[in-house]
């Protein structure tokens, strides 16, 4: 039986989510940016607003901090920014949702939006009057739960294929010829014949493994509600075939996205499945790189998963605060603000067509990434809060198949059974 695309029963799940948050209470979370160590999003005064983000790499002198400060000046308030690493922010937000101590504005990883929304701690964009009509629907989708929109994307990143230009030239491969799985596999064979490794990717047993597999899974026409479909088996068989034929190194089984990039950076690999966030570092390598979209099985651009954060407005007792928080969100979300954020965050692709076009005017080399994002798909769009349970079974199936413990068909059959059991346990 396939997993059902069912409406989430928010009240039934809230208790479970709060229990998760309680476990997180023991984790110490400190600000590493403009704010001080704190676990509170208290409403200090009418002129002081609180903001949490997962960007501790950006200190008070960074372009991102200056962008926030510029919006604070425009709105006429003081913004107290506190930065946590992504996992700590998730834990802290769930705990604070239970305590009612979330800040005025939270920048939150998009796959977690539906879970945080299920606690009842978030105001909808309809309630606060933020217009999301210009946002690309596929990028907005992770924030839409039961027809209500809980946030607006800051930007999006996704996956594409990086390639080593020197290796492809040596192998006689024209990247423009890569249109489908067959032509991609032909390119990998040519790269191997030229004495190099074909492709590296991250098959690690974590969300990163699922994230990297999804373009191939969706590109085959598979659906997360039916993990053992013939299309899903085709996608996993493709990866296994590459590994068995030596077109991908055995390291892909344990590679994270970081170690996969390190492998590509040696200059010995033709292709790498990786994300927008490596666009800047790719220019610092000892060889020239290019990038192209990941092809779907029979041609076209494969839907890749979206990464990136949403701006969320937690529920406040003093609802008059929404108007000012909305102004802060709108300041960051102007076309100019989206482009500025895109550059600040190592080329996040803006969530609106107008800002995407403006970004391309300044950086035409990002056309491939804009195309990839326009074809991308939200990870939680199909299953909502059930996604983490299903994702775990996807990466488990990838591990079982690549390691040879099971055939792709066996691995996905087991995954489907385990996913159904995990979802029905709610």
Q: Render pLDDT for 265-314 as a digit per residue (tens, 0 to 9).
A: 999 999 999 999 898 889 999 999 999 999 999 999 999 999 999 999 99
In a domain, 79, yes or no: yes
Same domain for 245 and 257, yes or no, is: yes
Residue 60 has pLDDT above 80, yes or no: yes
Same domain for 69 and 168, yes or no, is: no
Strand partners, 298: none
pTM of the model: 0.84
> pLDDT tens digits for 22-37?
333 332 333 333 333 3
DSSP result, 350-419: PSBHHHHHHHHHH-GGGHHHHHHHHT-B-TTTTTGGGHHHHHHHHHHHHHHHHTTSS-HHHHHHHHHHHH
Residue 45 is part of which domain span? 10-156+307-374
Same domain for 180 and 264, yes or no, is: yes
In a domain, 336, yes or no: yes
In a domain, 4, yes or no: no
pLDDT of residue 94: 94
In a domain, 132, yes or no: yes
Same domain for 299 and 210, yes or no, is: yes
> pLDDT tens digits for 162-199?
999 999 999 999 999 999 999 999 999 999 999 999 99
Is 184 in contact with 238 (CB distance < 8 Å)? no
In a domain, 2, yes or no: no
CATH of the domain at 124: 3.40.190.10
Cα distance between residue 95 and residue 110, in whole Å: 18
How many folded domains does the chain comprise? Answer: 2
Helix (H) or strand (E) holding 422: helix 408-424
| Closest by CA position to 386, among listed 225, 214, 239, 169 | 225
Rg (CA), the chain: 22
Cα distance between residue 369 and residue 319, in whole Å: 39
Same domain for 54 and 116, yes or no, is: yes
Same domain for 122 and 224, yes or no, is: no
Domain boundary among the residues 356, 374, 392 is at 374
Same domain for 279 and 412, yes or no, is: yes
Strand partners, 81: 51
pLDDT of residue 45: 60
Same domain for 256 and 333, yes or no, is: no
Same domain for 299 and 315, yes or no, is: no
Query: Using alpha carbons only, what angle is made at residue 130 by residues 33 and 122, rounded to the nearest 5 degrees?
Result: 60
How far apart, in Å, are the Cα atoms of 256 and each of 204, 259, 404?
5, 5, 19
Same domain for 105 and 191, yes or no, is: no
In a domain, 5, yes or no: no
In this prediction, residues 395-399 reach a mean pLDDT of: 98
In a domain, 210, yes or no: yes
pLDDT band at 18 (very low <50, low <70, confident <90, very high): very low
Domain boundary among the residues 341, 356, 374 is at 374
Same domain for 103 and 118, yes or no, is: yes
Residue 177's contacts (CB-CB under 8 Å, 6 or more residues apart) are 183, 187
Same domain for 172 and 146, yes or no, is: no
pLDDT band at 63 (very low <50, low <70, confident <90, very high): very high
């Amino acid at each position: 039986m396939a997993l059902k695309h069912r409406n989430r029963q928010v009240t039934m799940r809230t208790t479970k989510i709060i229990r998760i948050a309680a476990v997180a209470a023991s984790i110490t979370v400190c600000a590493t940016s403009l704010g001080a160590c704190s676990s509170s999003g208290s409403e200090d005064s009418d002129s002081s607003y609180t903001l949490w983000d997962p960007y501790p790499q950006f200190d008070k002198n960074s372009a991102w901090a200056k962008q926030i400060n510029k919006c604070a000046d425009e709105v006429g308030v003081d913004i107290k920014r506190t930065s946590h690493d992504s996992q700590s922010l998730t834990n802290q937000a769930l705990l604070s949702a239970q305590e009612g101590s979330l800040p005025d504005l939270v920048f939150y990883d998009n796959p977690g939006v539906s879970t945080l929304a299920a606690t009842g701690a978030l105001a909808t964009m309809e309630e606060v009057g933020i217009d999301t009509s210009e946002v690309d629907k596929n990028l907005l989708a992770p924030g839409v739960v039961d027809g209500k929109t809980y946030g607006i994307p800051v930007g999006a990143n996704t996956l594409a294929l990086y390639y080593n230009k020197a290796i492809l030239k040596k192998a006689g491969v024209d990247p423009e010829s890569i249109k489908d799985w067959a032509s991609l596999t032909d390119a990998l064979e040519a790269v191997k014949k030229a004495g190099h490794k074909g492709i590296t990717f991250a098959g690690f047993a974590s969300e990163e493994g699922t994230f990297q597999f999804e373009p191939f899974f969706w590109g085959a026409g598979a659906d997360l509600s039916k993990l053992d479909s013939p299309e899903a088996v085709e996608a996993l068989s493709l990866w296994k075939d590459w590994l068995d034929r030596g077109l991908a190194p055995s390291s892909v089984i344990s590679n994270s996205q970081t170690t996969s990039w390190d492998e590509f950076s040696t200059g010995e690999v033709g292709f790498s499945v990786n994300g927008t966030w490596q666009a800047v570092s790719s220019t610092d390598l000892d060889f020239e790189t290019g990038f192209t979209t990941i092809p779907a099985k029979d041609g076209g651009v494969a839907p890749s998963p979206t990464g990136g954060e949403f701006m969320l407005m937690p529920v406040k007792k003093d609802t008059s605060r929404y108007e000012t928080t909305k102004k802060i969100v709108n300041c960051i979300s102007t076309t100019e603000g989206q482009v500025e954020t895109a550059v600040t965050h190592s080329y996040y692709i803006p969530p609106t067509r107008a800002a995407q076009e403006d970004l391309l005017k300044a950086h035409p080399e990002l056309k491939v990434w804009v195309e990839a994002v326009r074809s991308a798909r939200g990870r939680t769009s199909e299953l909502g809060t059930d996604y983490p349970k299903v994702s775990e079974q996807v990466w488990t199936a990838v591990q079982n198949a690549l390691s040879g413990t099971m055939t792709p068909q066996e691995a996905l059959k087991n995954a489907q059974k385990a996913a159904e059991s995990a979802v029905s346990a709610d």
